[in-house]
Structure 1
Amino acid sequence: MKIRPTDDSPHVFRHRRTDAGAFAIETVDVLDHFHLDADPLHRLVVTRSSTARVERRCGRFDRRYGPGDVFLTSDPDLSYTATWTGAVSNCVLDPGLLARVAAPAPARRPEPIRFTSLDPRTPAAGEHWWTTHRYVAELIGNPEAGMPLVVDSAAQLLASVALATFPNTALTDPTIEDRRDASSVTLRRAVAYIDDHAASGITVVDIAEAAHVSVRAVQLAFRRHLETTPMAHLRRVRLDHAHRALVAADPRHTTMAAVAAQWGFTNHSRFTAVYRATYGVLPSTTLRGA
Structure 2
Amino acid sequence: MGTLVFDSNDLAAIEVFLNGAYTTMSIGNGGRRDASAHIRRDMLGPVILDQLDLGFDMSYDADRLGKVCLCAVHTGTIEQAYPESGLNVLNAGEIGLLSAPDLPHRGMIRSARYSITMFDSALFARVGAPAEAGLPIQLSGRRPITAGAGHRLARVVEHLQQVAADPAAGDLVAATSADYLVATVLDTMPTTVSIEPTALDRRDAHPDAVRSALAYLESHLRDDLSVADIAAASSVTVRALQLAFRRHLDTTPLAHLRRLRLDAARQQLRAAGPGSSTTVTAVAYDWGFTHPGRFAVAYKRTYGEHPSRTLHS
Residues 204-249 of structure 1, C-alpha deviations (whole Å, 9 max, x = no match): 1211111122222212211111111111111111111112222222
CA contact (8 A) 2:26 2:60 kept: yes
SS at match of 1:197: coil
Give the one of 59, 68, 81 matched to 2:106.
81
Residues 42-98 of structure 1, C-alpha deviations (whole Å, 9 max, x = no match): 000011111121211123232222112221111100111011211111111111112
Residues 122-168 of structure 1, C-alpha deviations (whole Å, 9 max, x = no match): 222222211221222222233322x2221111101111222222222
Equivalence for 2:125: 99
Give the one of 133, 146, 156 matched to 2:157.
133
Equivalence for 1:212: 235
Name the amino acid aligned to 1:75: A
SS at match of 1:50: strand
CA contact (8 A) 2:33 2:57 kept: no
CA contact (8 A) 1:61 1:118 kept: no
Q: CA deviation at 1:9?
A: 5.2
Name the amino acid aligned to 1:249: A
CA contact (8 A) 1:46 1:92 kept: yes
- Structure 2 stretches lacking a partner, 5+ long: 1-24
Distance in 2 separating the partners of 1:259 and 1:267: 11
Give the one of 184, 193, 201 matched to 1:170.
193
CA contact (8 A) 1:103 1:110 kept: no
Answer yes or no: is 1:50 the counterpart of 2:74.
yes
CA contact (8 A) 2:72 2:115 kept: yes
Number of equivalences? 286
Distance in 1 separating the partners of 2:283 and 2:44: 22
Distance in 2 separating the partners of 1:99 and 1:75: 18
Equivalence for 2:50: 26
Q: CA deviation at 1:36?
A: 0.9
Residues 173-209 of structure 1, C-alpha deviations (whole Å, 9 max, x = no match): 3233222222111111111111110111212121111
Name the amino acid aligned to 1:215: V
Distance in 1 separating the partners of 2:153 and 2:256: 24
SS at match of 1:246: helix
Q: CA deviation at 1:18?
A: 0.7
Identity of aligned residues (%): 37
Distance in 1 separating the partners of 2:306 and 2:152: 31
Name the stretch that deviates more: 53-62 or 95-104.
95-104
Name the amino acid aligned to 2:155: T
Name the stretch that deviates more: 263-272 or 25-34.
263-272
Equivalence for 1:226: 249
Q: CA deviation at 1:253?
A: 4.3
Distance in 2 separating the partners of 1:73 and 1:268: 31
CA contact (8 A) 1:23 1:91 kept: yes
Distance in 2 separating the partners of 1:194 and 1:263: 13
Q: CA deviation at 1:14?
A: 2.0
TM-score, normalized by length of structure 1?
0.90
Equivalence for 1:182: 205
Distance in 2 separating the partners of 1:254 and 1:128: 32
Distance in 1 separating the partners of 2:301 and 2:57: 53
SS at match of 1:143: coil
Name the amino acid aligned to 1:271: F
SS at match of 1:48: strand
Equivalence for 2:182: 159
Say what the alpha-carbon RMSD is for the aligned residues.
2.2
